Amino acid sequence: MKLNEIQPKEGSVFERTRVGRGIGSTKGKTCGRGVKGQKARTGVAIKGFEGGQMPLDRRLPKLGFRNIFRKHYAELSLGKLQAAIDSKKIDASKPLDQEVLFAAKVVNREKDGIKLLGNGELKSKVTLKVARATASAKAAVEKAGGKIETSASQSA
């Protein structure tokens, strides 16, 4: 078999129906759209329309609340921070803030700040400036002899 001999499976490929080519084609005049009405015209978009009946998406109850002012934090675990210190990506003797951690690619995206999570183990003494920190993360950093400064009013 050669590349120029490859053919699609018999009956799997159809030619496009050419509409509006006379009455003998069975798709002439109205082109299979019927007579008049909204659907016979171009540019019709009746996605949720139910013929005047109240559409399903408007009949169902609306649940929940989406806070448009919510802050999105980049998450950083203690284990990942310690791994970055061990691999010499960041210097633990200097204060670590969002810019330093982002430049060292310890945090993927700059969001509304960094939230420090207590996952993993921290052995190095570090000074961190983050937006938020969990109680277990604060305890672990202070146990290692470090210090955390949070810019958010309360920790979660």
On whether both 48 and 89 belong to a single domain, the answer is no
pLDDT over 70 percentage in the chain: 97
Q: Is residue 119 part of a domain?
A: yes
Give, in degrees to the nearest 5, the angle at Cα 86 between 80 and 92: 85
On whether both 81 and 134 belong to a single domain, the answer is yes
How many structural domains is the chain composed of? 2
Output the pLDDT for position 154: 52
pTM score > 0.85 for this model?
A: no
Output the pLDDT for position 155: 47
Dist. CA 136–CA 67, nearest whole Å: 27
Nearest Cα neighbor of 84 from 71, 102, 67 is 102
Summarize pLDDT for 88-108 with one digit per residue, the tens.
Answer: 999 889 999 999 999 999 998
On whether both 110 and 56 belong to a single domain, the answer is no
Long-range contact pairs involving 59-68 (C-beta distance under 8 Å, separation at least 24)? none
Summarize pLDDT for 1-22 with one digit per residue, the tens.
Answer: 899 999 999 999 999 999 999 9
On whether both 60 and 81 belong to a single domain, the answer is no
Summarize pLDDT for 62-85 with one digit per residue, the tens.
Answer: 999 999 999 999 999 999 999 999
